[in-house]
Amino acid sequence: MEVLYDGIIQAFSLMISLDAEVLAVTLLSLKVSCGATLVSLILGLPIGTLLALARFPGRRLVVSMVNTGMGLPPVVVGLFVTIFLWRNGPLGFLEILYTPSAMIVAQAVIAMPIVAGITMASIQNLPATMKLQVLALGATRVQMVWILVREARLPLLAAVMAGFGGVISEVGASIMVGGNIKGQTRVLTTATVMETGKGNFDVAIALSIILLMLAFGVNYLLTVIQQRERPR
């Protein structure tokens, strides 16, 4: 209990003093996770919408792959992203391995199936007649899709929260593709693992508390937006 108490005290000490290294690690964590969440939204929302509305051969296979991807092990993602970004890999020419960009790619791969799966379920959960009603009123198919997405905006915000929550707490892929390099790719999760391995439990607890507060702050903001949008 003394270690836990010391960790809590140190966490608030680091935050109040605005420790430069902790601040840099926290900002990088936010930058990488927000970037990955944005990429996952750009890719996941259209894929989830397409799977919810379209019928095509092999759709069940694709849906199964998305559902499987929602529980994809981060270390597996880290392994394959590392192979693709390795100097001799298919994307080695990008030379982004062991950079924040590689971490964004890996985390986006983790979050995208989560966003796509929740998007698909959200749109499928709308009344079955809504699509026909919108088309009967003269809307084009593009307008119909936009209206359906707007109607499902509340659960889609849950997709954003789930995607962000999945990447802000991720550690395996981040270490594999980022390398946990001080001042370059070290984020809160990888720093926590490192400090735990060194036996600095008070620092590790402090970093964990800062990570939890960061995750809570972002999700609280999204929750406020979601609840304001809720129909009265």
CB 170 within 8 A of CB 81: no
Handedness of CA 66, 67, 70, 73 (dihedral sign): negative
Alpha carbons 4 and 13: distance in angstroms, whole number:
14
CA atoms within a 13 Å half-sphere pointing along the CA-CB vector of 106: 33
> Could you tell me the domains of the chain?
36-177+210-229 (1.10.3720.10)
Task: Provide the residue-wise pLDDT of the chain in tens; the chain has 232 residues.
Answer: 666 676 677 677 767 776 777 788 889 999 999 999 999 999 999 999 889 888 889 889 999 999 998 888 899 999 999 999 998 889 989 889 999 999 999 999 999 999 999 999 888 888 877 877 777 777 777 888 888 888 888 888 888 888 898 898 888 899 999 988 888 899 989 988 888 888 777 778 888 888 888 889 888 888 887 777 555 5
Alpha carbons 9 and 204: distance in angstroms, whole number:
12
